[in-house]
Chains A and B, each alone.
Chain A
Amino acid sequence: MMTSFFDQFMSPSLLGIPLMALAFVLPWLLFPSPAPRWLTNRLLTLQGWFINRFTSQLLLPVNVGGHKWALILASLMLFLISLNMLGLLPYTFTPTTQLSLNMGLAVPLWLGTVLIGLRNQPTAALGHLLPEGTPVPLIPVLIIIETISLFIRPLALGVRLTANLTAGHLLMQLIATAAFVLLPLMPAVAITTSVILLLLTILEVAVAMIQAYVFVLLLSLYLQENV
């Protein structure tokens, strides 16, 4: 069986133990639970600042009814950003490259926002399907288009995260393999390739953070519309 570059995304297991479980459970050791004291150590303070500032900035455009989502959105951000960033280390597995995880997060949360909108303000929620100022003959077509775009949202949300991270990891593996193979043959080219790999790694760090943020931001946007 040919080994392909996609093999890095298969569920890893060692001696029958699914290592996916470790990839899921171990990152939370980096987030200690705060002790009941006013002044904590540097790590807890920084994490607390991040959570606090992030949540307040995220919920600024959302009406008060949507503020119930603060906890789930903040913890989702923490979840995604840690999984993404830790996946950049060598020999780690990134669970967010799995479509099942991302779709499993995107679809229920998006559906939650839609159902909240339909339940609490059905007229306004359905009104989003027709932009203001549409010429009358275009109305049926536009409603169809807007409905399709509404249903594509969870798909796009999940696949965006999966594709970005998968593509990044794949590129890194490809370029690293190229640099390694070229080393005995053309060392100068190999060094150039290593520089490209370094730049790509920096890009991947940015992408890891940005994609986690975009996921949560879009969910807050969908919430904004429906609350």
Chain B
Amino acid sequence: MPQLNPSPWFSILLFSWLVFLVIVVPKTMNHTFPNEPTPQSTQAPKTDPWSWPW
């Protein structure tokens, strides 16, 4: 089974952690969520439609 082949074992492990820590974690961190959840009011707020900034 090629997964048990020892030669790229360690480099895969190292490279995957490297990619995870250097690329994935900062990308996830960059997503910020500015709105605090507000308690629901009895009346639905009046909203205007907006268009997506493609």
Footprint of B on A, CB under 8 Å? Answer: 6-7, 9-11, 18, 20-21, 24-25, 28, 31, 33-34, 38-42, 44, 47-48, 51-52, 71-72, 74-76, 78-79, 95, 97-101, 103-105, 162, 166
Contacts and interface: CB of A to CB of B under 8 A. Distances in A.
Contact of B2 (A10, A24, A104): A10
B23 to A, nearest CB: 5
Interface residues of B, number: 30
14 contacts: A6-B1, A9-B2, A9-B3, A21-B15, A24-B16, A28-B23, A34-B30, A41-B54, A48-B31, A78-B24, A98-B3, A100-B9, A104-B16, A105-B16
B39 interface: no
A95 B12 CA distance: 8
A106 to B, nearest CB: 11
A31 B4 CA distance: 32
Interface of B: 1-5, 8-10, 12-13, 15-17, 19-20, 23-25, 27-34, 50, 52-54
Contact of B23 (A25, A41, A104): A25
Interface of B is mostly: helix
Contacts of B53: 39-41
Given A41-B52, A41-B54, A52-B31, A101 B13 contact: yes
Given A20-B8, A75-B25, A34 B32 contact: yes
Nearest to B50: A39
B52 A42 contact: yes
A26 to B, nearest CB: 10
Given A39-B50, A75-B24, A52 B12 contact: no
Contacts of A40: 53
Contact of B54 (A18, A42, A100, A162): A42
B32 to A, nearest CB: 7
Given A6-B1, A9-B1, A75-B20, A51 B54 contact: no
Nearest to B19: A24
A99 B33 contact: no
Given A71-B25, A99-B4, A24 B31 contact: no
A23 B13 CA distance: 14
A182 B12 CA distance: 37
Max count, chain B CB within 10 A of own CB: residue among A40, A47, A98: A98
Nearest to A33: B30
A52 B33 contact: yes
Max count, chain A CB within 10 A of own CB: residue among B15, B16, B17: B16
